[in-house]
Amino acid sequence: MAKITTLSGNLESDQYIALNAKTKLFDWNQDNFQLDLQAAEAYLANHIIPNLKTFPTTKARFDYLIKNQYYDEELINKYDFSEIEILTNQANSYHHHFASFVGALKFFNAYALKSFDGKEYLETYSERVLMNALFFADGNFKKAQDVLREMMLGRYQPATPTFLNAGKKQRGEYVSCYLLRVEDNMESIARAVSTSLQLSKRGGGVALCLTNLREQGAPIKNIANQATGVIPVMKILEDAFSYANQLGQRQGAGAVYLNIHHPDIMLFLDTKRENADEKIRIKSLSLGIVVPDIAFELAKNNQDMALFSPYDIEKVYGKPMTDISITKEYDNLLKHPEIKKTFISARKLFQTIAELHFESGYPYLLFDDTVNNRNPHPGRIVMSNLCSEIVQVSSLSEYHDDLSFKTIGEDVCCNLGSVNIAKMMESGKEFGQAIAQAIYALDHVSRNSNLVSAPSIVEGNKNNHALGLGAMNLHGFLATNQIFYDSQEAIDFTNIFFYTMAYYAFSASNKLAQEFGTFNGFKNSQFANGGYFDKYIKCQSDKWLPKTEKIAAIFEQYQVEIPTQGQWKILVKKIKTTGLANSHLMAVAPTGSISYLSSCTPSLQPVVAPVETRKEGKLGRVYVPAYKITAENLPYYKSGAYEIGPDAIIDIAAAAQQHVDQAISLTLFFTDKATTRDLNKAYIRAFKKGCSSIYYVRVRQDVLEDSENYDCDACVV
């Protein structure tokens, strides 16, 4: 069986708290950051190991866990037990050490299998990885060895729902989050609420698009001033998510999106006001808004902006408001006499958005035309998810009076995982192989999730097998290679890394298509005619090469092969011939929890501070030193996210976004000196640079930030 490897075992039981706290006190003559490793050792030696159930053999362990309904016997039986023993030995051979105290704390608090009474730990880190490998490989011993290697080397980390649930008998689903359309009828609203409850119970966050709901005061059955608008639906959803307890681990998480041209937009935003009336105040539901290009244009020209009745739009156009481009149809909508419209100042609306960002960090912003102009598939993207990195086409469902389906449309699920940028660069010539294993693992999740409680999600997943491979530890890699986050070299590296990652991701999906066939809509996509790839093959041959000597040298030093235009042309020819297995491949999530688990920096954002302060339950303050921080690389971490400011973060995200076919969860940081004007300038910069969305906006306060502020509230990826 697997064992926890510790470097020392003679530290006092509570010394890990003191050791961790000392990492905050930096002394140039003494590298206190190393004390965090000792804190992890003390925590394991004196808290975990005494409470870890041990077994004489691997066989005895598996027999016990299967007999007592902890492990899935059906999965285990797909392997000869001698293979499981070999895989166990392989996992142990890496001699895994937690690289930080918070990594160990996060694993044993949130991921490790525990006895039903919570008194014993039943898994080590390597044993949890082993169960993930068994799940991903589905009985294929060689594949299990390959995936196990990638995870133990730290190159690939599944999102929390997958990593947590793989191989367990009592579990939630493997999928991170879900996106549901809501149409303008009571059946659709009722079905959305019940589906949200079902999906929350199984461990995913749910986002819902409310744009198509008729506004407050709209007619019902031709009787004027009867509709109550979107707010009551939001209140129902908030109560539903609060009720859904995901195996006791966390409350359900939900978000709602509304188009900025919906007549209820100001009421929608007011629900997050600190002084909002309790009748409308929304406390735990996340808010997102969909912003078409025309809104920015009207604000730029200081013009009033029209809000259009979705009820009237559907009557006139014969389709819901989400299914038309407001930017393209704006003038026609203005002129049409049968479409009711009201007007507000566009600049005042953006001012209100900025004020709310100061108060709550909400709303998320999804740039409507940006994502739809890039969309290689027929249909429209109408919303995003709880962390604003998923952008996929959805289609409406229709229902009978008893809520059964008349027509099953396509809704969206997010199959997420992330590579560690530093570990990927260290993989050198195995870079492409590592990306292929990650795509394979995500594809397996898409084909083996039980989503029957949400037929429209099943339909979308079955037709698309969409994936969201992301990345984390950008700042960690930059700092340990002596590159400042707010530099041209950082932008150059990000661009080339994601360019390279995209090539190998598409190559992997092409190979999967030869095994599983193409996703259903492939023939009607811009992948089939090669148009999506014009940016790589119809350009100057040196366009996607490093622009700085340092980054060129780094890729050469790490022996990571940058794809050539010729390689892209060969790949595109293959894709046009044999297709892609997956409609979407990349999306960069916030990676809050899995970054702490992996002891690395989150997503693509800079660290908040060289040593971050978190609140962790009963322990209180916990200190988190940045990835491999030393006195030597401290200057590259010293300017945290608030000091670096939004411009550099936007520029990094924009560099990656050129190659990411979905979106990037983009959090912006401002000091307490920021004004609403500063926030509006950042929105405009992100929009003009081609970013797809903005997730949270953080304004520094002189208090300890809540620990959850840096996690994805929905997917906890």
Q: Which residues are catalytic?
A: 385, 387, 389
Q: Is the dihedral of CA 502, 507, 512, 513 positive or negative?
A: positive
* Residue among 427, 499, 452 nearest 156 (CA): 427
Q: Kindly list the strands in the beta sheet with 205-209, ordered across the sheet, starting from the edge strand earlier in the chain.
A: 412-414, 177-181, 205-209, 254-259, 286-291, 364-367, 693-694
Q: How far apart are CA 516 and CA 583, in angstroms?
A: 13
For residue 563, give the 3-state DSSP assignment.
Answer: coil
Q: Which two tokens stand for residue 597?
A: 């688990």
Per DSSP, 245 falls in state B
Query: What is 461-515 written as a DSSP string?
Result: HHHH---EEEEE-HHHHHHHTT--TTSHHHHHHHHHHHHHHHHHHHHHHHHHHHH
Which string of DSSP letters, residue by residue, matches 101-114? HHHHHHIIIIIS-B
Distance separating alpha carbons of residues 70 and 91, to the nearest angstrom = 20
Separation CA 249–CA 110 (nearest Å): 8
Which among 163, 153, 168 has a CA at the least distance from the CA of 76? 168
C-alpha span between 572 and 566 (Å, rounded): 10
Q: Rounded CA gap, 338 and 309, in Å?
A: 10
Contacts of 31 (CB under 8 A, 6+ apart): 630, 631
Q: How many helices (H) and strands (E) does the chain have?
A: 30, 18
Backbone angles phi, psi at 625, to 5 degrees: -65, 150
CB atoms within 10 A of CB 317: 16
The residues near 481 (Cβ < 8 Å, ≥ 6 apart) are 554
What's the N-to-C CA distance of the chain in angstroms?
Answer: 28
CA gap 308, 645 in Å, rounded:
36
Q: Cβ atoms within 10 A of the Cβ of 632, count? A: 10
Do the Cβ atoms of 482 and 431 come closer than 8 Å? no
Q: What are phi and psi of 267, to 5 degrees?
A: -65, -40
- Three-class DSSP category at 52: strand
Report the SS3 class of residue 472.
Answer: strand
SS3 513: helix
CA angle at 588 for the pair 604 and 108, rounded to the nearest 5°: 80
SS (H, E, C) 339-388: CCEEEEEHHHHHHHHHHHHHHHCCCEEEEHHHHHHHCCCCCCCCCCCCCC
Q: Residue 91 burial (CB < 10 Å; 0-12/13-18/19+)? A: buried
Region of 694 on the Ramachandran plot (φ > 0 left; ψ -120 to 50 alpha; else beta): beta
List C-alpha distances in Å: 155 to 125, 172, 430.
15, 25, 11
Residue 211: CB partners within 8 Å, gap ≥ 6? 257, 258, 259, 262, 290, 310, 320, 321, 322, 382, 383
How far apart CA 352 and CA 362 sit, in angstroms, is 11
Q: CA 193 to CA 274: how far, in whole Å?
A: 26
626: DSSP letter: P
d(CA 437, CA 507) in angstroms, rounded, equals 12
